[in-house]
Structure 1
Amino acid sequence: MKVVIILACVAATVFAAPGNNGSWRIVGGDGDAGTAPHTSPYQVSLSINGAHTCSGSILDDSTILTAAHCVVGFCDEGSDPTLIKIAAGKNKLSELVYNNKGKSVICHEDYDSWDIKNDIAIIKLETALTLTADIQAVQLPRTDIINEEVTFYGWGTTDNSSILSDALKYITMKTISVKDCIDKMPDKVGPTEVCAIAGTGKGACHGDAGGPLLASDGTVIGIVSWGIPCAEGYPDVFTRVYSFLDWIEENRN
């Protein structure tokens, strides 16, 4: 069963359901970013209804890159993007201040909420961010990445209580080819997605969605999208940023 990696209490009835065992597996991070400065300065927290829902990455001082399934309800005409609040510059959720609002939201026109394809969106901010050592714009990839070590950071759930991690966690993974991913996954994986795996007990989970998957050079090669289910030994699936470079350039301004 395909499970979108989003905070369960926010969107489980729409996008996701727990596995047959009724639990969400622990996310076994390689480390705790804690309060260390400049750990993931590209990362923001998105809050809807007063709580962290997803992550995103900073493209520039007024543009956030995230997963479409995190914000799909705000892409339609007549929706209110100011209900999305953004916070940046801190590694602990408890220290984040959601002092910026969405001005507009653009979801990929071919986003498929059933198969979770083209899971990419851009949020334009009401007020530009002030870029500092702790708040920085991420670089987009120039080449595709396969069979390389990658890292992602997140505040997602770390045990089956569905309680978010206050401290930013990180996991080191390795990307695999689409063919290898298809062989390992019971659900469809396409060429515009990238898979990464860290082994059983390690992986993305609810609350990690929309966050950046970073190559060793710091470029954002993926957007946390979905998994089957959290940390069960299957690859995690990310939107392949390299496949959407033209779309990003067309919609970021």
Structure 2
Amino acid sequence: SLIVFIMIVISLLLPMTCIVNGREAKPHSRPYMVSVQSKKSHICSGFLISDRFVMTAAHCRENFQVLTVVLGAHDLQKNNENSVRFTVESYHQHPDYTMGYYHNNILLLKVTNYIFGLQLEKYVQLNNNFKWISIPAEEGNIEAGSVCSVAGWRSLETNGRSSCHLMETNVKVMNNMECERKWGKKYFSTSQMMCVHGDGGSCDGDSGGPLVCGDTAVGVTSFGDPDLCNSLKLPEVYTKISAYILWMKNITG
């Protein structure tokens, strides 16, 4: 049908990013993880950085004008696990985001404080199922070789099996000059991006999720090799959050 064809085209246009060679995360062990959805279908990941803002990748909105966010989910097929869907009040895409090259690939979603017509005292009531994660307070690079982690839903292998459960894996931060050599300056910015390698990594469906080092989100899952998940030739690339602190402060206050 036409709808199926359109969805296939859209999936081919989006960068390839989700978790391969990973393990299922302990339910609600990453309470900052967010499923970014269109028409109640998962399209990207995101993460909570305050009681009213979710961070994700700018390219997640290229084909979807209206998004909702689901907090507190582990199995996306279950509606009875205390997850909550929020509508998005406003979208804040970086003004210098470039489609196709994924420079400045970062987007802030301000969640509404209205649910079922009722105004809440706070935007997101924090509990064991949803808490925000800290982001860098100042600009700086993560040391090459640092062991960090990524998490997400959907693809487990290139063009293969998918998971509705949150998956996770450990990765190592690569030297930024090595990333630039592999991708080239046209695609990779040493000041605004970082990349990782490991036995597992990102694949289809997890764009916008966090690269977590310690207890801090330092990167936003951006893009990777379009032909092979977890490629050694072209490692996964993340938007470096610390390069955007001033821009974020102007929006979030």
User: Which TM-score band (shorter chain)?
Assistant: 0.7 to 0.9
Q: What is the aligned-residue identity percentage?
A: 26
Question: What is the letter of the counterpart of residue 247 of structure 1?
Answer: W
Distance 1:185 1:105 in 2: 30
Aligned pairs for 1:6-155 within 5 A:
9=8, 11-16=10-15, 27-29=20-22, 31-33=23-25, 36-72=26-62, 83-95=66-78, 97=83, 99-127=85-113, 128-142=123-137, 143-147=140-144, 148-155=146-153
Distance 2:112 2:19 in 1: 36
Aligned pairs for 1:206-225 within 5 A:
206-216=204-214, 218-225=215-222
SS of equivalent residue, structure 1 residue 70: helix
RMSD after superposition: 2.4
Residue 189 of structure 1 aligns with which residue?
188
Question: What is the letter of the counterpart of residue 147 of structure 2?
Answer: E
8 A Cα contact 2:53 2:252, kept in partner: yes
For residue 91 of structure 1, report the CA deviation from its aligned partner: 1.6
Distance 2:222 2:235 in 1: 11
Q: State the Cα deviation string for residues 46-91 of structure 1 (Å, max 9, x = none).
A: 11132100011101111101100012456xxxx6xxx311111122
Q: State the Cα deviation string for residues 159-187 of structure 1 (Å, max 9, x = none).
A: 34555311111110111121011223366
- Where do 5+ consecutive residues of structure 1 fail to align? 1-7, 19-23
Please identify the structure whose Cα radius of gyration is greater: 2
Q: State the Cα deviation string for residues 131-162 of structure 1 (Å, max 9, x = none).
A: 11220111011443121111011103113455
Question: What is the letter of the counterpart of residue 237 of structure 2?
Answer: V
Distance 2:18 2:166 in 1: 18
Distance 1:189 1:170 in 2: 25
Residue 5 of structure 1 aligns with which residue?
none
Distance 2:108 2:241 in 1: 12
8 A Cα contact 2:19 2:169, kept in partner: no
**TM-score w.r.t. structure 2 length?**
0.81
8 A Cα contact 1:32 1:167, kept in partner: yes
Find the partner of 2:167 among 169, 188, 205.
Answer: 169
Q: State the Cα deviation string for residues 87-122 of structure 1 (Å, max 9, x = none).
A: 111221122556211111010000001211000010
**TM-score w.r.t. structure 1 length?**
0.81
